[in-house]
């Protein structure tokens, strides 16, 4: 698909993990139609990050990695804090079975990355190179 610019994703949720989940699903829905998608695989990844925004980047980079290496995309995910990191369980499906509706992200940009907790929960904004 042709594209004219990078993709900016903004997400919010009551919890940090919920905000990351919304950012991932928003990212995937920007380029694939998930309406008929259902999980066929489960992928568990242990990720480490010093800060919350680093965790957001790590999870999004893992989404891109899964797509590039095994052709799978998350249709849902769950995060769980563990000693030394966060376990991310991705419920995935074969991306080739879904309709492509936009440009596929190639990388996560650190430019103008925001991820913070406020009075009304967590908010993030991230730019993806497409």
Tell me which residue of 101, 109, 32 sits closest to 72, measured CA to CA.
Answer: 32
5 confidence band (pLDDT: 50, 70, 90): confident
pLDDT tens track for 52-63: 999 999 999 999
Q: What is the tens place of the pLDDT at every residue in 41-87?
A: 999 999 999 999 999 999 999 999 999 999 999 999 999 999 888 99
Domains of the chain: 14-117 (3.55.10.10)
Contact 19, 59 (CB under 8 A): no
**15-42 pLDDT tens trace:** 999 999 999 999 999 999 999 999 999 9
**pTM score of the predicted model:** 0.93
Tokens 């925004």 belong to 53
């Amino acid at each position: 698909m042709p594209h004219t610019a990078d993709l900016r994703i903004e997400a919010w949720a009551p919890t940090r993990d919920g905000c990351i989940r919304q950012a991932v699903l928003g990212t995937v829905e920007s380029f694939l139609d998930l309406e008929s998608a259902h999980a066929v695989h489960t992928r568990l990844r242990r990720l480490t990050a010093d800060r919350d925004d680093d965790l957001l980047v790590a999870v999004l980079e893992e989404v891109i990695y899964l797509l590039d290496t095994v052709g799978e995309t998350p249709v849902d995910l769950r995060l769980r804090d563990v000693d030394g990191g966060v376990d991310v369980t991705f419920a995935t499906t074969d991306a080739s079975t879904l309709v492509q509706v936009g440009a596929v992200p190639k990388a996560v940009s650190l430019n103008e990355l925001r991820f913070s907790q406020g009075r009304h929960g967590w908010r993030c904004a991230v730019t993806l190179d497409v």
